[in-house]
Amino acid sequence: MPKIKIAAVTLNTTPLDFLGNYESITKAIESRETKEADCILFPELCISGYGCEDAFYKPDVWTRSEEMIRELKTFSKNQIIIVGLPVFVGSFLYNCMAVLYGGRVVALVPKLNLANTGVHYERRWFHSESEFLNRTIPFAGDEVPFGHFIFQRGPWNFAVEICEDSWSVQKPASFYSLQGIDVLFSPGASHFAIGKQTIRKQIFAESSRNQCNLQVFTNLVGNESGRIIFEGGAIFASLGNIKKEGPRLSFSPFQVTSFDFDPLEIRAAKARSFRDSKPKSQSTEIPRIQLDSFRNETNSHGFSILDKRSEATKEEDLSSIVFSPFEEFTKAVSLGLYDYLRKSKTKGFTLSLSGGADSATCALLVHTMKEISKYENGDSIFSSLGIDEDNLLVTIYQKTENNSSLTEEIAKQLSEELGCAFHSITIDQAVDTSIKLIESVLEKKLNWKEHDLPLQNIQARVRSPLVWLLANLNGHLLLSTGNRSEAAVGYTTMDGDSSGSLAPLAGVSKEFLLDFLDDIQKENNRFLSPKESIRILRNTKPTAELKPLSEHQEDEKDLMPYPILQSIERKLVFLAKGESDCLEGLKQEFPWEGTEKLSEYIRKFKKLFMTSQWKRERLPPSFHLDEYGLDPKSSYRYPILSSET
């Protein structure tokens, strides 16, 4: 039997950019890698963009998506093309995949299980049925079957389930498999989280084993709409084995991963090992659609004779690079910064470089973004975007009498090592002016004993308008350097160091960031080389440098040791444990700390967390990077006012 070639396309889309998304889709169809493919699979909602949010309510979004399908259906009549879009049917809006072939819309398949946890809120916009559908609707100039079907094309057949369907307990594919599908297509918009691709591969490998089929996953890629980063990484899993994995976290508009399979191998495996499950749920007969009836007559065979190609032309399996968690973080944030830059049509980033770990990490990641962008898209990529590469990152150190000479030296040396612009200014006069103006209103002198926190905060607040002015003059986005640990306990000055257009580090803990810098210095990160400035930085204690130097201010003295803070945060916030369970876990992890001290840390964290929600509501947009986040818009919603605040 001739082999069938399937191409899975990972795509960088932009919400509401219908023409831009259409252009990327058609370029992928025309690419050399998809030319001989029998079927081309695209990601979920790739026509409209996944992150349209409440714009999904606009009829223009549905009608424009339908217009794009009307154009796309005749683009390549001899290939099966599967693309995602929103479709309004009856009284409901559905998240659908359109199956195109022979110049027609063969069917529209709606999603059954809607993602509604973590960063996803699909039930806000879309409807899902509780059972398989089978009806006909007018769409894009055709009378189109709308529902759930098995598609037959020559010697093979397939079905479609969409993203969350593949993660649910009762997968639609389990019903399709009982009725003999060879291939399950699983297009997705599955967000990046460190280590998540390993879980995806486990899910698809195991599902392909117990269902005895080939499972094909493809995904969006890039920072699509501001907060969520998608990683691409198409997966082909057959009979329990990962056969191929596509590139992840690519900076290019699309990537194609293809795979050839023999349907008879799938069916032989079914004969050997497939058994109908007992007990059975209510049996549902899935209707079939014969694609051969839509075949374009100019293509007599209807599929590629790929088994005639020589073995030498076959692509290598598993060519994708395996990243460490710190490398995943590096490339994901770099990709997020790159897409944020080009999609916002700004000229670069301005950064208040303090000589500390957080701002240093931001500078390193912008530099890495520049290098990866040029490597993957060519040296002229920034000039093509109208960006002056030499002015891509501008840094400024704003010192007061409370700053040490060491942190300024670290900031300056790091800027030199990265080859970016560096400025240093003294702001004591501006701080003093602000204090004296308020002293004149209050008719009293402020002092560190009675007014410690206000005197710390005014320094951060004076820095904010100055760095904003510099960013505006550069036409830049201002980066906020806060991390998730600071967001959890409100260890930030509102309208001061919290200011910015984007907070690229707010999705990970301070503990992670310090380990990230140490990993670079150990030469483990293929994207970043060790830096002398980072070596010096890691020999200092994290400090805000807002108190007089004589007080030797340190972050962990103000708060608690960062590993303990991170452990409490994870247990109380992400795992939703009670105080007593949290304490027992801490005693196991940190046996050198006394029970009373650990209890004190828990009480302190709870108080700071509860009273800091209003700050988290006002922080700049951040990337979702870990298994959980605290961004109220995309990850963790919590009341600003409650009995606990």
pLDDT in tens, 115-153: 998 889 999 999 998 899 999 999 999 999 999 999 999
Q: Tell me the mean pLDDT in the region 447-467.
A: 95
Check pLDDT > 60 for residue 17.
Answer: yes
Number of helices and strands (H, E) in the chain? 20, 21
Q: Determine the pLDDT at residue 198.
A: 95
Q: What is the pLDDT of residue 300?
A: 34
Gap between the Cα atoms of 465 and 496, Å rounded: 8
Band the pLDDT of 643: cuts 50, 70, 90: confident
Amino acid, res. 425 = I
Rounded Cα distance between 155 and 152, Å, is 8
* Residue 129 DSSP code: -
The mean pLDDT of 515-522, rounded to a whole number, is 98
Cα torsion for 554, 556, 562, 563, to the nearest 10°? Answer: 120
> Order of strands, edge to edge, in the sheet holding 477-479?
421-426, 393-399, 349-352, 477-479
Banded model confidence at residue 436, pLDDT cuts 50, 70, 90: very high
Q: Is residue 5 scored above 70 in pLDDT?
A: yes
43 and 287 Cβ atoms separated by less than 8 Å: no
Q: Cα angle vertex 111, ends 3, 633, to 5°?
A: 120
Classify residue 71 by its DSSP letter: H
Tokens at 482, concatenated: 């806060």
Q: Which residues touch 262 (CB under 8 Å, ≥6 apart)?
A: 1, 3, 4, 307
Mean pLDDT score, 408-425: 97
DSSP code, position 318 = S
**How high is the mean pLDDT of the chain?**
92
Q: Could you tell me if 375 and 417 are in contact, meaning their C-beta atoms sit under 8 angstroms apart? A: no
The two structure tokens encoding residue 287? 């209707």
The CA distances from residue 218 to 19, 197, 305, 387, 523, in Å, are 21, 12, 24, 32, 32
Q: How many CB atoms lie within 10 A of CB 288?
A: 14
State the angle between helix axes of 562-569 and 595-611 in degrees (0 to 180), rounded to the nearest 10: 60
Alpha-helical runs (H) found in 149-301: 164-167, 172-178, 196-211, 263-273
Q: How far apart are CA 517 and CA 514, in angstroms?
A: 5
Amino acid at 492: T
| Look-up of token digits 């980072």 | 534
Average pLDDT of span 12-20:
97
Nearest to 364 by CA among 515, 530, 501, 223: 530
**Mean pLDDT of the region 290-315:** 48
Given this model, what pLDDT does residue 645 score?
66
Q: What percent of the chain has pLDDT over 70?
A: 95
The sign of the torsion formed by the CA atoms of 296, 300, 302, 306 equals: negative
* Separation of alpha carbons 544 and 558, rounded Å: 10
Distance CA 615, CA 503 (A): 13
User: Averaged over 396-416, what is the pLDDT?
Assistant: 96
Measure the CA–CA gap between 314 and 297, rounded to whole angstroms: 29
**Does the pLDDT at position 579 exceed 60?**
yes
Task: Please name the helix (run of DSSP H) or strand (run of DSSP E) that holds residue 394, with its range, or none.
Answer: strand 393-399
Q: Specify the 3-state DSSP secondary structure of 576.
A: coil
The dihedral sign for the CA sequence 364, 369, 372, 378 = negative
Q: In which residue are the tokens 């498999």 written?
A: 177
d(CA 76, CA 30): 9
* pLDDT grade for 296, boundaries at 50, 70 and 90: low
List alpha helices for 34-185, DSSP H.
59-72, 164-167, 172-178
Which pLDDT band, with edges at 50, 70 and 90, does 509 fall under? very high
| φ and ψ of 382, to 5 deg | -75, -35
Say whether pLDDT at 368 is over 70.
Answer: yes
DSSP label at 73? T
**Structural contact between residues 151 and 106, judged by C-beta atoms closer than 8 angstroms:** yes
Report the alpha-carbon distance of residue 391 to residue 8 in Å, rounded: 37
Residue 93 has pLDDT above 80, yes or no: yes
Contact 124, 150 (CB under 8 A): no
The helix or strand, by DSSP H or E, that contains position 453, with its residue range, turns out to be helix 452-474
Q: What b/e readout covers 427-463, taking b as 16+ CB neighbours within 10 angstroms?
A: beebbeeebeeeeeeeeeebeeeebeeebbbbbbbbb
pLDDT exceeds 90 at position 21: yes
CB atoms within 10 A of CB 642: 9
Give the Cα separation of 472 and 43 in Å (integer).
37
**Cα gap 395→420, rounded to integer Å:** 7
pLDDT of res. 635: 87
% the chain with pLDDT above 90: 85
Pairing of strands 254-261, 4-11: antiparallel
Per-residue pLDDT, 369: 98
Cα radius of gyration rounded to whole Å, the chain: 27
The arithmetic mean of pLDDT across residues 582-606, rounded, is 96
How far is Cα of residue 320 from the mean position of the Cα atoms in its chain? 18
For the CA atoms of 621, 625, 626, 631, the dihedral, rounded to the nearest 10 degrees, stands at 10
pLDDT of residue 304: 36
User: What band does 69 get if pLDDT is binned at 50, 70 and 90?
Assistant: very high
Distance CA 385, CA 130 (A): 47
With a cut of 80, say whether residue 310 has pLDDT above it: no
At residue 320, the pLDDT reads 55
Model confidence at 281: pLDDT above 70: no
pLDDT, position 386: 95
Q: Report the alpha-carbon distance of residue 128 to residue 125 in Å, rounded.
A: 10
**Chain-centre distance of CA 86, in angstroms?**
21
pTM assigned to the model: 0.91
Q: Say yes or no to pLDDT of 428 above 60.
A: yes
Give the pLDDT score at 315: 38
CA distance 601 to 599: 5
* CA distances in angstroms from 389 to 420, 475, 527, listed in the order given: 10, 13, 19
